[in-house]
Structure 1
Amino acid sequence: MTDVTLRQLRYFAVLGEELNYRRAAERLFITQPALSTAIKQLEQAFGVVLLNRNTREVALTDLGAAWLPQVQQALAGVDAVVANLVTLSGTRQGRLRVGYLIGTGADLLFRIVRHFEAAYPDVRVEPIEFDFADPTAGLAAGTTDVALIRPPVDLPEHRMLILDSETWVACLPRDHRLADRTEVHIAELLDDPIVCAPVTAGTWRDYWLAMDARGNRPPTIAAVAATYEAETTSIARGLGISFTTSSVARFYDRPGIVYVPIVDRPASHVALAWHPAAITPQADALIRHVQREWNFGEGEEVAVPATQH
């Protein structure tokens, strides 16, 4: 019997639904070459062709179209089997440590915790806030079981569910030369001094410095801030600018600053993340609760990328 992995099945299911490598890769949070390689390995393992590809489109073969609903059913069955094991073991009592990055998905956190506590009253949920010094919200150190984060983060072995997406905005001093604009491009701001996260934030810090857009131009660091309060205070003083998301503009508005949308940056995501090898029954219950709440399919559980550009 030729081995086939759950990951290969998930990749095929998502690509079979999207019929587009770019969209499927984005949904799976992997690169298009990685997705293409996984599908080719699956086909080669069984000596079959599941999809026809050319430069314009992707289409299921007759065999692929017949197999897709069986794969979807099998993946749903795996979910059910795991859920039944946890239910039968009676291990959904206890503590659940939910980390969250300051200012990240605050409304989502309240919704998730409130609904989960109603469904699982025997589980004691402990929300734990983390500042910019640890954008993994405790996952890297193992001090939380699950966490709401903003990828990219340095957690290559973790899994996640994308819950929301937001646009980039520039946080500017109110007397900034572009403060009256209705929108800006990232290149217009790359020469400005910038307020950024501590170096411990790693990949996340580089992402919010827009390092991928700078080429050989290093950023001028105006100040380092571990919280939005410290960040916006520095900007209101005129020390520099920062890049952030549209929700921050709602939650952290204050005198002396203005937020201007950036039109040419990819969306920033909010994700629920966890380590599959360290998952507790309580965390498993929360993850499955969120999957049902957001109407996720099995294929939408994905690996957290180390980088995102």
Structure 2
Amino acid sequence: MLGEELNFRRAAEKLFITQPALSTAIKALEHQTGATLLNRNTREVTLTEVGAAFLPLARQALLAVDSAVDDLVSMARRNRRVRLGYLIGTGADVLFRLVRHFEAVYPEIRLEPREFDFSDPTAGLADGTTEVALIRPPVDLPEHRMLILDAENWVTCLPRDHRLAHRSEVSITELLDDPIVVAPGTAGRWRDYWMATDARAGRPPTIAAVAATYEEETTTIARGLGISFTSESIARLYNRQGIVYVPIVNRRHSYTALAWHPARIGEEAAALIRQVRDEWSFEEGQATERPATYY
């Protein structure tokens, strides 16, 4: 700037610094390099021969810095993302709606959905693989929060030739003695929940098989090896030959929720949570926030 203005006062004003500070910076550069850049007298400031040669190099360097800063801003914008986990089969309609609405409002932020099977019902939240996740509580996440987005009835998945397959509804107590297909042991509380442990009065279940996906689960049941408990949306998504879904009466709803750890989210994930909280309609017109271990 000084090389162009050749006036300390005007150059300092354009740089938003004081005239003495600019003069000190120029003298420090000259002292460091051993080159005299300016001729100074009481009437004027002119460039030395070295200063005139240095000026275009300085301009080029500044342009390179500006370009690098622009590239950095562009990279930061491209890297604005939310790592969104979801448990396999969990609210497919909910996931599509969430992604579609968020990307319409925040086109500059990229949602990166990743599916998790039954071995991790926290959908990546437990180990930090994801920032936010669509889950089915309860899960082992004592420090996390969640917004309840949907509620569904329980159903049982039965082999087509099961003694109760013809029924329009069943009580869960009628099925507690049947062998059951369960999630892997790593599922923790979630596995216990879908084994209906609370209804067994201490009687251990007879485990027919362990399945990490609904495909494994329904295939095992179609072979007649056992039954399972699941939700009504799964009955729509995973219907196949050899199985029947029957509604279960007198059982609390299963919930779909968006969960996160308050101290482990960036501003992009926070924007997603705000949008869901403000726009989602479930209980009394808005999503309901609760601890992730509520159910």
Q: Could you tell me the TM-score, scaled by structure 1's length?
A: 0.68
Q: Once superposed, what is the RMSD of the aligned Cα atoms?
A: 1.8
CA offset digits 1:45-99 (Å, max 9, x no partner): xxxxxxxxxxxxxxxxxxxxxxxxxxxxxxxxxxxxxxxxxxxxx9896111000
**Is it true that 1:246 corresponds to 2:201 in the alignment?**
no
Q: In the TM superposition, what are the counterparts of 1:106-255 in structure 2 within 5 Å?
A: 106-255=92-241
Higher mean alpha-carbon deviation, 106-115 vs 229-238, is at 106-115
Percent of residue pairs bearing the same amino acid type = 72
Displacement of 1:265 in angstroms is 0.9
- 1:75-129: CA deviation from partner (whole Å, max 9, x where unpaired): xxxxxxxxxxxxxxx9896111000000001111011111111111111110000
The correspondence of residues 91-110 of structure 1 with structure 2, limited to 5 A, is 94-110=80-96
Candidates 279, 289, 292, aligned match of 1:301: 289
- 1:30 is matched with none
**8 Å contact kept, 2:125–2:133:** yes
Segments of structure 1 that go 5 or more residues without pairing to the other structure are 1-89
- Deviations 1:137-167, CA, capped at 9 Å, x for gaps: 0000000010000000000110010000000
The answer (yes or no) to whether the contact 1:96–1:282 under 8 Å persists in 2 is: yes
User: Contact 1:94–1:122 at 8 Å: present in 2 too?
Assistant: yes
Output the amino acid matched with 2:141.
L
In the TM superposition, residue 217 of structure 1 has moved relative to its aligned partner by 1.2
Does 1:278 find its partner at 2:264? yes
Taking the aligned partners of 2:147 and 2:77, their CA distance within structure 1 comes to 23
Whole-angstrom distance in 2 between the partners of 1:116 and 1:136: 22
Give the distance between the partners of 2:105 and 2:162, measured in 1 at CA. 49
Q: Does the aligned pair in 2 maintain the 1:152–1:203 contact within 8 Å?
A: yes
Query: SS where residue 217 of structure 2 aligns?
Result: helix
8 Å Cα contact 1:93/1:282 also seen in 2 = no
Assess if the C-alpha contact under 8 Å between 1:92 and 1:282 holds in 2: no
The code of the aligned residue for 2:218 comes to: T
How many Å separate the matches in 2 of 1:251 and 1:298?
26
CA apart distance, 1:214: 0.4
Paired position in structure 2 for 1:268: 254
Amino acid in the other structure paired with 2:277: Q
Paired amino acid for 1:265: R
Structure 2: distance between partners of 1:112 and 1:258: 30
Q: CA deviation at 1:302?
A: 1.6
Whether contact under 8 Å (1:160, 1:274) holds in the other structure is: yes
User: Residues 30-69 of structure 1 correspond to what in structure 2 (within 5 A)?
Assistant: none
Contact 1:91 1:281 in 2 (8 A): no
What's 2:13 paired with?
A: none
Unmatched tracts of structure 2, length 5 or more: 1-75
Question: Matched residue pairs, number?
Answer: 218
State the SS of the aligned residue for 2:170: coil
Question: What whole-Å deviation, never above 9, does each CA across 1:7-57 have from its counterpart, x for those lacking one?
Answer: xxxxxxxxxxxxxxxxxxxxxxxxxxxxxxxxxxxxxxxxxxxxxxxxxxx
Other structure's SS at 1:269 match = strand
Could you list the per-position Cα deviations for residues 185-220 of structure 1 after superposition, in whole angstroms to 9, with x for gaps in the alignment?
010000000000000000000000000000121100
